[in-house]
Amino acid sequence: MRVGIVCPYSFDAPGGVQFHIRDLAQALQRAGHEVSVLAPADEETPVPEVVTAAGRAIPVRYNGSVARLTFGPRTANRVRRWLEAGEFDVLHLHEPMVPSLSMLALWLAEGPVVATFHTSQERSRALQVAYPLLRQSLEKIAARIAVSEDARRTLIDHMGGDAVVIPNGVYVDTFADAGPDPAWQGTPVAPTIAFLGRLDEPRKGLEVLAAAAPRVLERFPGARFLVAGRGDDGRDAALEALGPHARSFEFLGGVSDEEKASLLASADLYIAPQTGGESFGIVLVEAMSAGTAVVASDLGAFRRVLDDGAAGRLFRTGEPEDLAVAILAALDDPDGTAARRAKATAFVRRFDWSAVTAQVLAVYEMALAAGEALGTPVTPSRVESAVGWLRTRRAAGGEA
């Protein structure tokens, strides 16, 4: 099968969506399919071999973060040429409501289209404005995927219709097999506590962690907080807020995939203090795969990834005092923490790419079947039927 995947966000500053698309492409290739990815990227930006760079992107504030997007007539021509050259059996668009490559590809698409929705928001003015403009083009979509129940609810609330939930994938064994780095390992009296995320995005919650740190350090004066991620402004703000406790924070900057896996395998705890805007929580799954105990804010997406607290501890979102209590509970109760880690080790298998890829391929099969049905356009009622078909298949065979 020839699969074209379109990423709306730039690889100049890759995040969760870009990594998901990169890994999906790799998983599909391993399954024997031909894959090409179109994504914004500057000419000098190194990109995976499977990615075709579509040019420089512009940073835009979106959903509490900075999205780097590209649009316009020149970009549309690049999309058209890529579509014509690819002759794809299935076109897989990510975030087609975002004004970037996926939206342009949806306008130009003629064959079977699958769309994945990642965004989780209670109210989005951007989506409310975009929907009437895209309503006709959205009828081209043969099947919708949401990466979580939160993303599915956002889709239903803003666009109607439904989607099958297929989570983000992780190469579980890559993290399970990662070797720890002695420089990042702690001891029972001097544990290491890890955080990963862009430091200049407040919703990642570094300030919440910084505010919780003094109480943790009262009980464990030798604790070290290992902070990985880019964003000098966020680092400087955290250091200023920490005052005399700043020496306990080690800022590692950006880390490679291999370094990230090693960091997670080395740390005693991984902390996810995000305050909102998260539709899944891929780094939680990575930490769980590495065998690291997790403490996370009780966002809906995180609660589901942690099996309602059975696979990791939860704290009240945005409350540093409650985060400190949860960290201390994890450190003071090694038996309870070990039990949660054991639960997490089994629970994360459902997120492995071997399982996720099979579900995505089942959606592709459905989209191809819909496209072959007398060449008729895909309507919302057909999308509803597709969702039901996928859920029935999952219940019957466990593969989709």
pLDDT in tens, 61-87: 766 667 788 888 999 999 999 999 999
Structure tokens at 26: 């790799």
Range 2-169+352-397 classified under CATH 3.30.390.50: no
**Pick from 187, 188, 197, 359: which is nearest to 286 by CA?**
197
Q: What is the CATH number of domain 172-350?
A: 3.40.50.2000
Give the Cα separation of 272 and 286 in Å (integer).
12
For the stretch 124-170, pLDDT in tens is 555 655 666 667 778 899 999 999 999 999 888 888 889 999 999 99
Residue located via tokens 């404005």: 129
Backbone phi and psi for residue 135, each to the nearest 5 degrees, phi listed first: -50, -45
CB 111: neighbour CB atoms within 10 A?
16
Q: Judge whether 336 and 315 are in contact, CB under 8 Å.
A: no
Give the Cα separation of 349 and 172 in Å (integer).
7
Domain with CATH 3.40.50.2000 in the chain: 2-169+352-397, 172-350
Counting residues of the chain whose pLDDT is more than 70, the rounded percentage is 88
Give the Cα separation of 37 and 21 in Å (integer).
8
For the stretch 176-214, pLDDT in tens is 999 999 999 999 999 999 999 988 888 999 999 999 999
Q: What is the pTM of this model?
A: 0.85
Structure tokens at 108: 């130009």
In which band, very low, low, confident or very high, does the pLDDT at 244 lie, cut at 50, 70 and 90? confident
Residue 53: the pLDDT is 95
Print burial letters for 330-367: b (CB count within 10 Å at least 16), e (below 16).
bbeeeeebeebbebbbebbeebbbebbbbbbbbbbbbb
326 bridge partner residues: none
Give the Cα separation of 241 and 210 in Å (integer).
7
Q: Judge whether 208 and 273 are in contact, CB under 8 Å.
A: yes
For the stretch 44-66, pLDDT in tens is 899 999 999 999 888 887 666 67
